[in-house]
C-alpha cells in the first residue's frame, strides 16, 4: 500500500535500512526522546525500521519517513501503528520531528495527512495518540488534528494520556 500523498511541504515514504543514519540520529537525540524512557541506540533504530517494514507488510501502514519536498532533507517520521492500551488494540497516530525543525508545523502537517489517509483509504473507525502528560507540544499537535484527551492510563509503568478521535469526524 502506498503512503499518504505528499503535503504542501512534505513527502512521506516507507523507511528502509538506507535511512538508518537519519533514524539513528533522530531516535538517539535526547531532546526528541525526552518523553521516552531513553534515547535509542543504532541497533534499536535499526529495529525501529525493521518493525515499520513488518507493519507495512502486515497492516499496509506504519510510520513513514518524512522529507522536505523542496530539497529532500530528512524531517522525521509520522504514521499509523497498532498499539495495545488496557487490552484494546487501536491504531496510533505517531510523529517524531528533528529537534532543530520544531516549531515549523511539520508534525501537524504530516499528522493531518495521515489522519485523512486513515479515514479515506483505510476507513478506520478510530485513531489514538499515546502522549506523555509533560509533552505539551505533542498534545498541541494531537488537538490540532482533531484528537481530544480521553483518559489517563498507566502503560509500561508510566502515566500516559490517551487522545482519541473517530477519523470520520475529522475535517477534510
Q: Is the pLDDT of residue 169 over 70?
A: no
| Sequence spans of domains, the chain | 10-169
- Choose the weakest-confidence range: 37-41, 121-125, 147-151: 121-125
Structure confidence at residue 170 (pLDDT) = 59
- Residues above pLDDT 70, as percent of the chain: 97
Structure confidence at residue 166 (pLDDT) = 75
Mean pLDDT of the chain: 95
> Which CATH number among 3.40.640.10, 3.40.630.30, 3.10.129.10, 3.30.70.20 corresponds to the domain 10-169?
3.40.630.30
Mean pLDDT of 56-67: 97
1: confidence class by pLDDT, cuts 50, 70, 90: confident
Q: Which three cell numbers mark 47?
A: 529495529
- What's the 3-state SS for the chain? CCCCCCCCCEEEEECCHHHHHHHHHHHHCCCCCCCCCCCCCHHHHHHHHHHHHHHHHHHCCCEEEEEECCCCCEEEEEEEEEEEECCEEEEEEEEEECHHHCCCCHHHHHHHHHHHHHHHHHCCCCEEEEECCCCHHHHHHHHHCCCEEEEEEEECCEEEEEEEECHHHCCC
58: confidence class by pLDDT, cuts 50, 70, 90: very high
Mean pLDDT of 110-115: 97
- Choose the weakest-confidence range: 78-82, 95-99, 164-168: 164-168
Structure confidence at residue 99 (pLDDT) = 98
**pTM of the predicted structure, to 2 decimals:** 0.94
Mean pLDDT of 107-132: 96
Amino acid at each position: 500500500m502506498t503512503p499518504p500523498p505528499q503535503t504542501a511541504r512534505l513527502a512521506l515514504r516507507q523507511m528502509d535500512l538506507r535511512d538508518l543514519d537519519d533514524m539513528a540520529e533522530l531516535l538517539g537525540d535526547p531532546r526528541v526522546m525526552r518523553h521516552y524512557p531513553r534515547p535509542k541506540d543504532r541497533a534499536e533504530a535499526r529495529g525501529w525500521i525493521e518493525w515499520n517494514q513488518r507493519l507495512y507488510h502486515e497492516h499496509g501502514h506504519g510510520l513513514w519517513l518524512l522529507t522536505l519536498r523542496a530539497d529532500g532533507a530528512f524531517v522525521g517520521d509520522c504514521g499509523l501503528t497498532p498499539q495495545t492500551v488496557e487490552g484494546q488494540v487501536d491504531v496510533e497516530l505517531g510523529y517524531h520531528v528533528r529537534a532543530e525543525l520544531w516549531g515549523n508545523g511539520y508534525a501537524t502537517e504530516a499528522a493531518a495527512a495521515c489522519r485523512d489517509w486513515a479515514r479515506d483509504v483505510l476507513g478506520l473507525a478510530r485513531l489514538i495518540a499515546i502522549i506523555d502528560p509533560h509533552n505539551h507540544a505533542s498534545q498541541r499537535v494531537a488537538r490540532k488534528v482533531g484528537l481530544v484527551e480521553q483518559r489517563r492510563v498507566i502503560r509500561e509503568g508510566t502515566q500516559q494520556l490517551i487522545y482519541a478521535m473517530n477519523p470520520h469526524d475529522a475535517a477534510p
